[in-house]
Amino acid sequence: MLSFADRLDAAVRRCHNPVLVGLDPRAESLPEGLRPSSERPTVGETSAAFGRFCRGVIDVVAPLVPAVKPQAAFFEQLGPSGMMVLAEVIEYAHENGLVVILDGKRNDIGSTAAAYADGMLGADGQSVWGADAATVSPYLGDDSLKPFIDVAVRRSAGIFVLVKTSNPGGKMLQDLVADGRPLYRHVAEYVEASAAETAGSCGYGAVGAVVGATYPAQLVELRAAMPHTWFLVPGFGSQGGTAKDVAAAFDSQGRGAIVNNSRGIIFAHASKRYAERFGAARWQEAVEAATQDMIAQLRDETPAGQL
Amino acid sequence: MLSFADRLDAAVRRCHNPVLVGLDPRAESLPEGLRPSSERPTVGETSAAFGRFCRGVIDVVAPLVPAVKPQAAFFEQLGPSGMMVLAEVIEYAHENGLVVILDGKRNDIGSTAAAYADGMLGADGQSVWGADAATVSPYLGDDSLKPFIDVAVRRSAGIFVLVKTSNPGGKMLQDLVADGRPLYRHVAEYVEASAAETAGSCGYGAVGAVVGATYPAQLVELRAAMPHTWFLVPGFGSQGGTAKDVAAAFDSQGRGAIVNNSRGIIFAHASKRYAERFGAARWQEAVEAATQDMIAQLRDETPAGQL
């Protein structure tokens, strides 16, 4: 099996775009026809609605984009029945040829980190969740990241470590300066070294970085500092990041980054831009239009146009 | 309903000890009679074995200690069926009068953090998981912690933020010095301010800190700096922390800290100290002896002896 980095690179080149669609189902935002019918739905009913909705999104985006990113929090919020639907959504995305990045921002120490990695990462039969990659938080340090990297490499999977997140509050710790450089650069050094060690034939490694679209200057700085590291770029669209902002995430050939959009795509039917054109009933057409528009923006204004 | 801080304080005083039993089921460590009978057990069979084992531990420790801490990773490792058993274990612990701290070290930004908090925190009917408190990672900053605090306060629940973790690699980021003090002190300042703002009648707040038993000097320093903050102290026993090491976690009345022991208690039947006396068949007696021994050590060598 190809390494995760090579699989992701191949998927991006096959689709000619680096769009990552975030699957963040929220009960109050589902298109009208997909909401549970009862007034006070059970978690089982809401879970079923999440499943229908995510499969509907996947049906539209699978022919267009390389990857999806289910957000674990929204499924976990519904308890075991939500987690069951999460597993089904991951499977359905795989059946439709998508790379799946499970966004759980997990971490722990030693053998507990290994348990998370064991559950989340790897093809079906190796892992119960079967994600191609997972997001990981670095606060616990190198001995918490290493078990994730070991499992990922062994199973041709990947991880994305939080480096510089898209939210305003990220600066509280990430921008503190220690030994002459901000904290996020300390994390970046570890990530880049691990990426270089695990680099596949595409030149990128099994260990990627999360770097927000809302910090374009840091994207420039980190792209230069992390030549072997895949970037997962959140914050595009609803959070304010533009195609111009994310241009620096790519290498000169337009590779090495995927740009996430969650609400802006999956709930496009409710946005100013698409609501009138499609409305709730034609929500899947709104998803398609928003995806195509994002693809066009990245093609026109970033090096990803070469893909 | 009493605040989480007051409930925990009452539970600790009722039991006259601050022992927190970590529920970290690992398939390979289960007592012989409890292991799944098939050679290659399904995740469903292993989940069922985890459920039996955790209920067996709870049966023994519920009359002795104030609280348990299920480790989400080991349940999540088994997929949806493991998550179902996690929910059952939390419910069983509540039925037996225990305070439940769900150890998931979750976090995310804004409304996603709120989704985690909504799912995890609160009494049955408010929350699907129904934990009294959850552990949270701080790398994403204040706007990721605030949604957890808001939900926790609204639901009389609590959170424990990672401040200084027990693992050796924790130093990679946590000990970096910025603005004249280590990173963990920056986190500690935010946590203490939030704890002071939410302090219940016991003097402690809804926001606690995770501070490892393996760093006794930092326990002294942080106890002094965080007078309103409950400490959850991991690292006792297997990781090397002793009763003497954790003495500084308590205030002068022996309150304000709970000390976790996972493997040292739940897998006592396999340890040098108890294996000969009890063996696998009498594993619950080993759990009881290990719990009683830890209670005695903390009584004899820490201010918790006054409880």
Map residue B187 onto helix, strand or coil: helix
Question: What would the pLDDT profile of A84-93 be if each residue is shown by its tens digit?
Answer: 999 999 999 9
Token pair listed for A189: 């050094």
pLDDT value for A48: 97
A137 contacts in chain B (CB < 8 Å): 105, 107, 137, 139-140
> For residue A257, what are the contacts with CB-CB under 8 A and spacing of at least 6?
A18, A230, A231, A232, A233, A246, A249, A250, A304
* List A69, A105, A146, A244, catalytic entry: A105
A166 contacts in chain B (CB < 8 Å): 109
Contact flag A113-B73 (C-beta cutoff 8 Å): yes
B168 contacts in chain A (CB < 8 Å): 143
Q: How confident is the model at residue B305 (pLDDT cuts 50, 70, 90)?
A: very high
> Which of A143, A166, A168 lies at the smallest CB-CB distance from B169?
A143
Average pLDDT over residues A169-176: 98
Q: How far is CA A302 from CA A252, B22, B192, in A?
A: 10, 49, 44
Average pLDDT over residues A2-23: 98
Q: How confident is the model at residue B279 (pLDDT cuts 50, 70, 90)?
A: confident
> Which of A74, A112, A138 lies at the smallest CB-CB distance from B173?
A138
pLDDT at B187 over 90: yes
pLDDT at A279 over 90: no
Contact between A294 and A242 (Cβ < 8 Å) = no
Residue B78, chain A, CB below 8 Å: the answer is yes
Q: CA-based angle B1:A76:B131, to the nearest 5?
A: 25
Q: What whole-number distance in Å separates Cα of residue A248 and Cα of residue A255?
A: 11
Question: What would the pLDDT profile of A211-232 be if each residue is shown by its tens digit?
Answer: 999 999 999 999 999 999 999 9
CATH 2.60.40.10 fits A4-306, yes or no: no
Residue A141, chain B, CB below 8 Å: the answer is yes
The total number of residues written for chain A in this structure: 307
pLDDT value for B80: 97
pLDDT value for B188: 98
Is B105 tagged catalytic? yes
pLDDT value for A37: 87
Rg (CA), chain A: 18
Question: What would the pLDDT profile of B116-161 be if each residue is shown by its tens digit?
Answer: 999 999 998 899 999 999 999 999 999 999 999 999 999 999 999 9
Average pLDDT over residues A108-135: 96
Q: What mean pLDDT is reported for chain B?
A: 97
Contact between A83 and A75 (Cβ < 8 Å) = yes
CATH 3.10.290.10 fits B4-301, yes or no: no
B76 contacts in chain A (CB < 8 Å): 115-116, 119-120
Q: CA-based angle A201:A13:A207, to the nearest 5?
A: 45
Average pLDDT over residues B198-202: 95
Query: Does the ipTM exceed 0.90?
Result: yes
Instruction: Count the alpha carbons within 13 Å of B294 in the hemisphere toward its beta carbon.
Output: 29
Smallest CA–CA distance from A211 into chain B, residue: B140
Q: Which amino acid is at A63?
A: P
Work out the number of other CB atoms within 10 angstroms of the CB of residue B32.
11
pLDDT value for B299: 98
Give percent of chain A with pLDDT exceeding 70: 100
Contact flag B183-A176 (C-beta cutoff 8 Å): yes
Contact flag B137-A139 (C-beta cutoff 8 Å): yes
Q: How far is CA B242 from CA A225, B248, B260, B301, in A?
A: 43, 11, 11, 9
Residue A138, chain B, CB below 8 Å: the answer is yes
Give the per-residue SS3 of A181-248.
EEHHHHHHHHHHHHHHHCCCCCCCCCEEEEECCCCHHHHHHHHHHCCCCCEEECCECCCCECHHHHHH
Q: How confident is the model at residue B37 (pLDDT cuts 50, 70, 90)?
A: confident
Concatenating the DSSP letter of every residue in chain A gives ---HHHHHHHHHHHHTS-EEEEE---GGGS-GGGS-SSSS--HHHHHHHHHHHHHHHHHHHTTT-SEEEEBHHHHHTTTHHHHHHHHHHHHHHHHTT-EEEEEEEE--SHHHHHHHHHHHBSSBTTBSS-BSEEEE--TT-HHHHHHHHHHHHHTT-EEEEEEE-SSGGGHHHHT-EETTEEHHHHHHHHHHHHHHHT--TTS--SEEEEE-TT-HHHHHHHHHH-TT--EEE--BSTTSB-HHHHGGGS-TTS-SEEEEESHHHHTGGGSHHHHHHHTTTTHHHHHHHHHHHHHHHHHHHSGGGG-
Q: Are strands A207-211 and A158-164 parallel, antiparallel or unpaired?
A: parallel
Full-model pTM:
0.98
B79 contacts in chain A (CB < 8 Å): 83, 87, 119, 128-129
Measured in angstroms, the CA of B194 and the nearest CA of chain A are apart by 15
Work out the number of other CB atoms within 10 angstroms of the CB of residue B293.
15
pLDDT value for B124: 82
Question: What would the pLDDT profile of A36-52 be if each residue is shown by its tens digit?
Answer: 988 899 999 999 999 99
B110 contacts in chain A (CB < 8 Å): 167
Residues 252-291 of A with CB under 8 A from B: none
Q: CA-based angle B139:A171:A243, to the nearest 5?
A: 105
User: Residue for token digits 């927000």?
Assistant: A212
> Which of A43, A73, A141 lies at the smallest CB-CB distance from B173?
A141
Average pLDDT over residues B54-79: 98
Smallest CA–CA distance from A181 into chain B, residue: B178
A109 contacts in chain B (CB < 8 Å): 165-167, 169-170
Q: Which amino acid is at A207?
A: V
Q: What whole-number distance in Å separates Cα of residue B105 and Cα of residue A142?
A: 16
Residues 35-74 of B with CB under 8 A from A: 43, 71, 73-74
Q: How confident is the model at residue B238 (pLDDT cuts 50, 70, 90)?
A: confident
B183 contacts in chain A (CB < 8 Å): 173, 176, 178, 183
The structural domains of chain B, with segments of one domain joined by +, span 4-301
Map residue B223 onto helix, strand or coil: helix
pLDDT value for A160: 98
> Which of A76, A86, A109 lies at the smallest CB-CB distance from B167?
A109
Q: How confident is the model at residue B112 (pLDDT cuts 50, 70, 90)?
A: very high
> For residue A38, what are the contacts with CB-CB under 8 A and spacing of at least 6?
A45
Residues 18-37 of B with CB under 8 A from A: 24, 26
Contact flag A115-B77 (C-beta cutoff 8 Å): yes
Measured in angstroms, the CA of B253 and the nearest CA of chain A are apart by 31
Residue A190, chain B, CB below 8 Å: the answer is yes
Average pLDDT over residues A15-26: 98
Contact between A181 and A190 (Cβ < 8 Å) = no
Q: What whole-number distance in Å separates Cα of residue A20 and Cα of residue A167?
A: 18
Q: How confident is the model at residue A164 (pLDDT cuts 50, 70, 90)?
A: very high
Smallest CA–CA distance from A174 into chain B, residue: B139
Measured in angstroms, the CA of B31 and the nearest CA of chain A are apart by 19
Q: How confident is the model at residue A124 (pLDDT cuts 50, 70, 90)?
A: confident
Token pair listed for A70: 């289910």
Nearest to A257 by CA among A216, A289, A285: A216
Interface test with A, best of B40, B103, B160, B173 (most A CBs within 10 A): B173
pLDDT value for A238: 86
Average pLDDT over residues B12-28: 97
Q: What mean pLDDT is reported for chain A?
A: 97
pLDDT value for A304: 97
